[in-house]
Structure 1
Amino acid sequence: MALRFIAKDPNTNGAQCPTAWVDDEAREIVVQGWKAGEALLAQCRETGPVPETEAVVRLPIRMVPALREACDVADRLGVH
């Protein structure tokens, strides 16, 4: 796996914080975020189930620049 670090949440101390990466080989955006609580999970499940192999995570809006950068990196990898 060629995991490319993009950014950590700029408003944290650098430990245990939301983070964004791009996996060059798998062609995936990888995120670390805060676990969703039961109330948020219930709202998300209104549009469909959340399988055991997936998770709902929360990211602060201040992470938008990091997610945009991850999307730009992913675009440069190609959409094939």
Structure 2
Amino acid sequence: MTLRFAGVDPNTGKDESPMVWVDDAKRELVVQGLKPGEDLLTEIGTTEWVPGHSVGTPDHENVTRIPLRMAQVIRKALDDAERDGLL
């Protein structure tokens, strides 16, 4: 796996996250973030967000919270991926 670091939450502490990487080989963003609280997992598990799509979080998936202040980091990761012909 080839991960390129794109950025970290500007308000993070030394031992914390969220962070964003670009995986060149898989053409994906990789995001490390804050675990959701039970209230969010319950809401996701009971709300049909997309008509016809199953609700909840399958065992092979995860939910991560990313602060909106990281918008510039995510944009940079996408811009870098587009510049490198990954998009």
TM over 0.5: yes
Give 1:75's aligned residue: 82
Greater C-alpha Rg: 2
Structure 2 unaligned spans of 5+: 49-54
Structure 1 unaligned spans of 5+: none
* TM-score relative to the length of structure 2: 0.81
Percentage of identical aligned residues: 46
User: Distance in 2 between the 1:73 and 1:51 partners?
Assistant: 30
Measured after TM superposition, the shift of residue 37 of structure 1 is 1.0
* TM-score relative to the length of structure 1: 0.87
Question: Hey, which bits of structure 1, 4+ residues long, moved more than 4 A?
Answer: none
**How many residues get paired?**
79
Structure with greater strand percent: 1
The alignment's C-alpha RMSD in Å is 1.3
Measured after TM superposition, the shift of residue 74 of structure 1 is 2.7
Query: Where do 1:48-59 residues align within 5 Å?
Result: 48-59=55-66
